[in-house]
Structure 1
Amino acid sequence: MTTRALTAVTLALLALPVFASEDIADQYPGSVLYSKPVEFIPHVFSAIGATAPPTYENAGHNNNLSFIVTGDGVVVINSGGSYQLAEALHHEIKATTDQPVKLVFNENGQGHAMLGNTYWAEQGVKIIAQTDAAEAFEDEGPGSLRAAQARLKERADGTELTPPTETFDDEYTVDMGDFHIEALHLGPSHSPGDIVIWLPEQSLVIAGDMAFHERMLPIFTDTLTDEWLETWDGPFEALGATYVIPGHGHPTNMAQVRRYTKGYLEYLRGKIRDHLDAGGSLADAYYVDQSPYAHLDTFEELATKNAGRVFEQMEFE
């Protein structure tokens, strides 16, 4: 495909209406996947998850499950939030190519990235994660599994705790088929061990939870927003990516994720700084104005929590 044709296809995808809303029903009733994988650029596919919280109805598929058909095997990004999601993704891969899955990357240590590991381990596939993500899954995996079982009921059948088979600290590089693939831990961001998958020859970053745009980003107790911004302004921007597949929501570009990730973090920190300077309390911090972001999915679930956690961080900065 020529560069002009690739650009035309990509711009057409970016112009599509947003279908990952909390108010949209499951888009792929014949599968536990929320949506059928779509080819974003040649040979790079993603099954876009719901931007709602995980539910029985969406089978816990509320993040993006991506894969790269390299010409000499398939590389999967995220094992999925259950055994059945991993199996369903593999079914779609086998319908797309006869190349075997050779490698799975876990983008972080959360359940939606790792709870499908058991399925891939049964297929004999190597599973890679960053060291901190593997440690987080060891600590928090049992709780993630219990929550998934309670939420998904029979849709969690077969799901067990299986750690990654290999870990790395900063960088894991793969040359497979027609692709040079770099798994990078760029620094602190959304959760321990977050990585991005960088395809330099395609100028595409599979950003995971480094970047959000259609749903509000969650700030956890261990999310250090000042360090996330440092990682963003430094090594993440330095990639110079043209195309972005975020952890949640449709593929897009850097301008969009910059607006709704970096922009939101800076906005909320500014509001909390003003609140602190005025002598405001934690109780009132929950209600600082976040209306410019009220259109994002999960705003109602996350906005007040995010404000409280940023207040607790910033009062000691």
Structure 2
Amino acid sequence: MMRLVVPALLALTVGAPSFASEDIPDQYPGSALYQKPVEVIPHVWSAIGATAPPTYENHGHNNNLSFIVTGDGVVVVNGGAAYELAKALHDEIRSITDQPVRLVINENGQGHAMLGNSYWAEQGVPILAHEDAAEEFADYGMQSLQQHQRVLREKAEGTTLVGPTETFEDSYRIEMGDFRIEVLHLGPAHSPGDISVWLPDQSLVIAGDMAFHERMLPIFEHTITADWIDTWENAFEPLGATYVIPGHGHPTNMAQVRRYTHDYLVYLRARIREHLDEGGDLTEAYYVDQSPFAHLDTFEELATRNAGRVYEQMEWE
């Protein structure tokens, strides 16, 4: 087993909460990446995106783009939100290692995970995703591309719709170089086809949108919160990961993402249950108390929307 050395960045983020601000400007001028990739543990890197929504200024880089330098090639987690963004990540990889990129994994079917596939496909790199994520991208990829084109304008140049070249149903296991890599669909969570990349020998999980902590998680129309909680309790947390690279925000630990993902979902559902039991309607449901989470980035954009969607779900449970 590889000996783990905790870099200073991870020691800080694991030891105490670290909250990003939407007001912080681009941290890596001269690159499409919002921040320069950091080595989270030996040979596992991540370029941490902004916790704000995608903007022209951050090049759409508002999620984490990670990669594993295995010793016999590089595995990239997330295609990125645009051709230019994927290329910028590849430039960073080349500055770190001469090992070729052998696989790209899309964490789900959203634009920030798949729109950069157009670059990776041009390089001849295989692209892997869960079958539900591939279907989601086939259905809504054009809508996502058009939205990114409106936001990124000329920075979206070269970005086209390219889906995964390979899909799987439950799990996909890779033996490459010094790493065992398990790509896991643990169950329903944030969006269709969400996966987590588990490195059992390193006790590290690249969680994707299973886990949030610095920004408020979004609840979509197809996000079934009761199922997300069940997947968390019965499949994700039992991994027992020491290190967690979430879909958004800095690397941290399981306790931190539990607090702001699992515990937030449980809390919000409890407030909505109280509201329903008191005969409250949808209009009032938007304003149930979520103040314990008001410090999270994107709270203003998402809190009321989340409450309304949970109300609509729980009204029929």
**TM-score between the two structures when normalised by the length of structure 1:** 0.97
The residue that corresponds to 2:128 in the other structure is: 128
Q: Structure 1 residue 114 and structure 2 residue 114: aligned? A: yes
1:98-247 aligned within 5 A: 98-247=98-247
Flag as ranges the 4+ runs of structure 1 deviating above 3 A.
Answer: 1-10, 12-20
Letter in 1 for 2:218: P
Q: Structure 1 residue 89 and structure 2 residue 89: aligned? A: yes
Letter in 2 for 1:73: G
Does the 8 Å contact 1:20/1:49 carry over to 2? no
**Cα distance in 1 between the residues matched to 2:300 and 2:132:** 30
Query: Shift in Å at residue 259 of structure 1?
Result: 0.3
Structure 1: tracts of 5 or more residues without a match? none
**Cα distance in 1 between the residues matched to 2:3 and 2:207:** 23
Describe the SS at the equivalent of 1:103. strand
**Cα distance in 2 between the residues matched to 1:33 and 1:4:** 27
Question: Aligned residues, how many?
Answer: 317
Compared CA separation, residues 5 and 120, structure 1 to 2 (3 A): closer
The residue that corresponds to 2:67 in the other structure is: 67
Describe the SS at the equivalent of 1:27. coil
The residue that corresponds to 2:48 in the other structure is: 48
Letter in 2 for 1:118: S
**Cα distance in 1 between the residues matched to 2:43 and 2:185:** 24
Structure 2: tracts of 5 or more residues without a match? none
The residue that corresponds to 2:27 in the other structure is: 27
Does the 8 Å contact 2:190/2:223 carry over to 1? yes
**TM-score between the two structures when normalised by the length of structure 2:** 0.97
Query: Shift in Å at residue 151 of structure 1?
Result: 0.4
Query: Shift in Å at residue 31 of structure 1?
Result: 0.3
**Cα distance in 1 between the residues matched to 2:183 and 2:95:** 26
1:115-159: CA deviation from partner (whole Å, max 9, x where unpaired): 000100010100000000000000010000000000000010000
**Cα distance in 2 between the residues matched to 1:298 and 1:292:** 14
Letter in 2 for 1:242: T
1:158-192: CA deviation from partner (whole Å, max 9, x where unpaired): 00000100000000000000000000000000000
**Cα distance in 1 between the residues matched to 2:238 and 2:155:** 41
Does the 8 Å contact 1:209/1:246 carry over to 2? yes
Letter in 2 for 1:227: D
Letter in 1 for 2:202: Q
**Cα distance in 2 between the residues matched to 1:285 and 1:21:** 27
The residue that corresponds to 2:249 in the other structure is: 249
Compared CA separation, residues 70 and 2, structure 1 to 2 (3 A): closer
Compared CA separation, residues 104 and 118, structure 1 to 2 (3 A): same
**Cα distance in 2 between the residues matched to 1:128 and 1:253:** 26
**Cα distance in 2 between the residues matched to 1:151 and 1:8:** 35
Query: Shift in Å at residue 237 of structure 1?
Result: 1.3
